[in-house]
Chain A
């Protein structure tokens, strides 16, 4: 079983839709959860960072962590064509060091 599972999609939505992206994980020791956006042929860029369970909102983006279910989500409101990218979740046990576990990424296309 992989440490982190993420549906690769592809996911296609009309402009303005609410997008829900999800990851599940198996290691209950994960405490730090991140979402990255990766445009084609580019490196990932950090979108959201959360610690432990709860919600975090930043503009049109909301990250949710449910540690009891080992499930994290990223919601995008009022999706725009510029949101079209691959979204990767990542998680780690500690807040130092480099041991990130990445999901495979979900490919999202927002249709104008």
Chain B
């Protein structure tokens, strides 16, 4: 149980285009999903918290107009990187919270974004 999927696993796009990443909880409903960014040899950095049916809460320094988050259902959240630039190239990981405890957060396999 507690499986989270992400699609695509890897994407290459040209500078200036937009990319959508999907995060799905496959066998449980997740009121809350989280989006992280991970640079090589660095820790996961929380970008935003996504609650079903409401606006996402962004961490300080994360541009909400650039990283659009939609949590349309209890099993799906999407992250759209708009007008991508090479510096947006990173590993994006989502997680979904199954219960109320902080450790009940299950991570997706990540999406490797490369912007050329």
Contact = CB atoms under 8 A, between A and B. Distances in A.
A55 interface: no
A65 interface: no
Most B CB within 10 A of own CB, among A32, A34, A49, A98: A98
A43 B32 CA distance: 17
Interface residues of B, number: 26
Contacts of B106: 46
In this complex, the member of B9, B43, B46 whose beta carbon has the largest number of chain A beta carbons within 10 angstroms is: B43
Interface string A37-71: 00001111110010000000000000000000000
A72 B106 CA distance: 22
Query: Is the contact region of chain B dominated by helix, strand, or loop, or is it mixed?
Result: strand
Contacts of B46: 98-100
B102 A96 contact: yes
Interface in B92-116: 93, 95, 97, 100-103, 105-110, 112
Interface in B69-93: 91, 93
Contacts of A49: 103
- Binding site secondary structure of chain A: loop
21 contacts: A4-B43, A6-B43, A41-B9, A41-B91, A42-B109, A42-B110, A43-B93, A46-B103, A46-B106, A88-B43, A88-B44, A96-B101, A96-B102, A98-B46, A98-B49, A98-B97, A99-B46, A100-B46, A100-B105, A102-B44, A103-B43
Interface of B: 4, 6, 9, 32, 34, 41-44, 46, 49, 91, 93, 95, 97, 100-103, 105-110, 112
Interface of A: 4, 6, 8, 32, 34, 36, 41-46, 49, 88, 92, 94-100, 102-105
